Structure 1
């Protein structure tokens, strides 16, 4: 394991992407290699589209293009008709957009971000984050030895009751604000 936290963060993101794609298997190394080599053509096609789609979306101004424009560019890059994969591509575009989103600055001491923001070491350090309030049971604390975390174990659903956690979260944010402005902990 490396001491470079930015590399560790990329490694975690890479593992999450592989897990989403179904590439991580509990089998032994040799069995995993055999299983991977027998992946269906469909899975290889989706992997190719996922990689190319990410590259396209990182190279364009997402405010200036439509999903149709992106699908057309993807088709040009992969060299085959992607219409049968429209639903897959649309889902992947949403995932990639979530990963590309920057956190929203609420106050000088408070940002609102996604799982992808919470796993991006460079972004966290660049924004001088010292405390992370993690309100979901689906997302781990990525750097428990580097940041002060408060974990509220709730489902990430619209019907989840958050108000019952108000006092705990308010105290945590208040302490983070105090430490940032009075103790200079980053």
Structure 2
């Protein structure tokens, strides 16, 4: 999974701020709660440094937004052609890519799925000489089956970025240890 490419994909649709990008990636790729928001911000800093993203006009309440550049568009396009079924993350990268691209109205989902099918078909067609090869062949067959389902379902996934503002700040949880300790001292 490439958070970097995911950020660029979201920015292809419109300028966005960090927490918005985080929410869009989690929602669009079914990874809710599994993407660290700090990783979004550090990756945005690297994207600005590399010239793939530039600062855009802030939101009405001052949140910094980002805009993709021509270099960022080229980087995203290269990422679409980078699937590697032999990589340890090959399957998760495929799922992330297809779910993301299918959810972006500006992208050609059919072309992305065609590229993924070609990559996984190549993996499925390799000679099986040992148990590890057999596992890779079965994974490739499963990937091809899923990609055909994705081709059918993809049309219903495209949607614009949400206008809803994600809640900012920390999620509610137990009081930090220090506060509980101080509360206990006051009770004595």
Shorter chain as denominator, the TM-score bin is under 0.3
TM-score, reference length from structure 2? 0.25
TM-score, reference length from structure 1? 0.25
Higher relative contact order (CA 8 A, sep 6+): 2
